[in-house]
Structure 1
C-alpha cells in the first residue's frame, strides 16, 4: 500500500468525488493510502511545487495562471468538477430573478479564488447583462462576504455550498440562482500533477484516476441524499439535512460527470473566460496543460 497526500483547494461538498472515493475505499482498492489535506487558500500549487503532495484537486485556473506567468507546466489528468459550483444569493427576495438584476447592485464576490467572478463575467455578457454595471465587492473571505450581505453593504453574495443552503435555510438570504447553467461546461477543478510526476510516476496517476472514476460512476447512479449520507463523516460541522440539500443542489446543476474525461472545447472556453476577465494574457494550450490518457484508460478499465 502506497501512502500519498492529496491536496484539495477547499473543504467543501463541491469536491464530493474525492471524499466519495475515500469513503468507498476506492483509493485503497487501487493500492493508495490517501490522506486528504486542505492547505491555506491558493496553496495547492505550492504543495505540488514543494513536493508536499504528488497530486492535488485544484482549479485548472491555476495551471493557466502559472503557464501565463512563465512558470512550470502543471498537467490536468482527470476532470472532477465539470461546472461552476457557485450560487448567487440575495439579501431581499427578487421576484422572477434574471441576471440583469445584478446591474446597478453590489455583489460581494467569493474572495478566495478568482474563477467564480471570471466565469460569471463572460456568462453575464452571454445573458445580455453588463458585468461592468455590477458593483463588484472583491477581496472578502466567506465570513466577510456574509457580513456584507447582512449589513446591507452588498445586495447579493456569490458563495459556494453548503454556505448558500445554510443562508437560505436560516432565512438570512434568498436564492437568486446557480452560476452553473449560464457558465456551461468548463473544467472547473481537476486532478493536477507536475509534468515531472506525470512522466516519473504514471502508475500513481493511473491508480488515482481509476479511483476517481469509480467514485464518479457511483455518484451518477445515486441521488444527493445518498451521496451526502456517505460523506457526512467528512463534514461533521454541517447539519445532515443541509448537507443533503447542498449536494443535491450541486448534482442538479450538473457539477459532476459520470467520468473524468477532459473536453478540449470546455478547456478552451475556460481559457477564454480567464483572458476576458483580465486574469491572464494568453491561455495555455490543451495539449500542454492536459493529458487525457489516464482518464481515457480509466474509463475503459472501470466498468462498474
Structure 2
C-alpha cells in the first residue's frame, strides 16, 4: 500500500494553477491533475475549445505534481476532481477510507511510456535488456508497475536480470539518462521524441502497446461530492466526452495547436509527433467509460508488482453512469 501524505499538508502543497472558462454565472469546479502532460491532451482541449464553459462550468486547473499529493488534495477538499491513475483510488480503499473515491470518467486507456534505447544499432529484442542498467520509474506508480509487468511478459526478471534504478525522482529520470546513466530508460512523450531529435537514442518499444488497455488516467471524485453534485459531474463528463471526440476526429497538428499554450517550451513539431504517437497506439480514450476488463487488467499489474492487498470491487470504485449518459447525449 502506498502511504498518502498527511491531510494537513494539503494547504501548503504549492500548486501550479490555471484558471479557465471563467464566467460570472458559471459553477466552479477545481481539478487537480497529477502532472502537466500532453498525454492529457483531451483535458486541455475541453478547456481551450470552451466545452466546459458550454456546460456552464468554470474550471480551475491545478497541477498537483504526484499521486500522493493529488489524492491528499482530493481527500482534504483542496480540489473537487482529481485526474490521476486509478491505482490511487485502490490504495485509498485499501487503507479503509470512509469516503470512497469514485472513478467516473476515463481519459487515457494505455500506459504512456516508451522504452528508449541509447544504442541505435541493430534490430531490437527484449533480451537486449538483460545485464544492462535500466532507468525505471517510482515504485508503486503505474509507469513502474506496467514496466515490470511488460518485462516479465518477455521473461525478464526486472530485479534479477538487469540493474533497475528506481530511486531517481520522476523529474530527474530523463536528465540522468541524458547525462550518461543507463542503457535503457522508460520515458513519456514529448521527452522521447525530444531525445530522438537530439540524437540520444531511439524509441524501440511501447509499454502502452505491450501492456494493453488499462484505466491509466481517470477523473475521480469523492463519493460525498458526487452525491451532492450529480448534475455538475454529468456536465463535466459531457465536456470531457466532447473533447475526446474532438481529438479523435482532428489531426495531431490541430490538437497540437490547441494545447500549445500549456507547453510553451516544446517545439510544435515535437508536440505533433508526440500526439501522433499516442493517437496511433490508442492512448487517448475515445469515450469516458472505464470497462471492467481494463479494471481487472490494472489489478493484475498491481498484483504482479506486489502492490495489491486484495482485489478492489469494480462496482464500488467505478461509476459509469455519467459516461454512458454523456455518450447518449442526454
| SS, match of residue 6 in structure 1 | strand
Q: Which of 92, 106, 116 is equivalent to 1:79?
A: 106
Mapping 1:1-304, distance limit 5 Å? 1-42=26-67, 43-72=69-98, 73-111=100-138, 114-132=141-159, 133-301=161-329
Q: Contact between 1:91 and 1:152, CA under 8 Å: does it hold in 2?
A: no
- Deviation per CA, 1:208-235: give whole Å up to 9, x if none: 1000000001111112121111111111
Cα distance, 1:137–1:94 mapped onto 2, change above 3 Å:
farther
- Greater Cα offset, 256-265 or 147-156: 147-156
- Whole-Å Cα distance in 1 between the matches of residues 264 and 176 of structure 2? 27
Cα offset, 1:182, TM superposition: 0.6
Cα distance, 1:138–1:259 mapped onto 2, change above 3 Å:
same
Q: Contact between 2:42 and 2:244, CA under 8 Å: does it hold in 1?
A: yes
Q: Contact between 1:68 and 1:283, CA under 8 Å: does it hold in 2?
A: no
Give the TM-score normalised by the residue count of structure 1: 0.94
Q: Contact between 2:55 and 2:236, CA under 8 Å: does it hold in 1?
A: yes
| SS, match of residue 244 in structure 1 | helix
- Whole-Å Cα distance in 2 between the matches of residues 110 and 229 of structure 1? 30
What residue number does 2:17 align with? none
- Whole-Å Cα distance in 2 between the matches of residues 112 and 165 of structure 1? 25
What 5-or-longer segments of structure 1 have no aligned partner?
none
- Whole-Å Cα distance in 2 between the matches of residues 95 and 71 of structure 1? 51
| SS, match of residue 145 in structure 2 | helix
Give the TM-score normalised by the residue count of structure 2: 0.87
What 5-or-longer segments of structure 2 have no aligned partner?
1-25
- Whole-Å Cα distance in 2 between the matches of residues 154 and 222 of structure 1? 37
Q: Contact between 1:59 and 1:190, CA under 8 Å: does it hold in 2?
A: yes
| SS, match of residue 279 in structure 2 | helix
Q: Contact between 2:39 and 2:112, CA under 8 Å: does it hold in 1?
A: yes
Aligned length: 302
RMSD, aligned CA: 1.6
Q: Contact between 2:117 and 2:201, CA under 8 Å: does it hold in 1?
A: yes
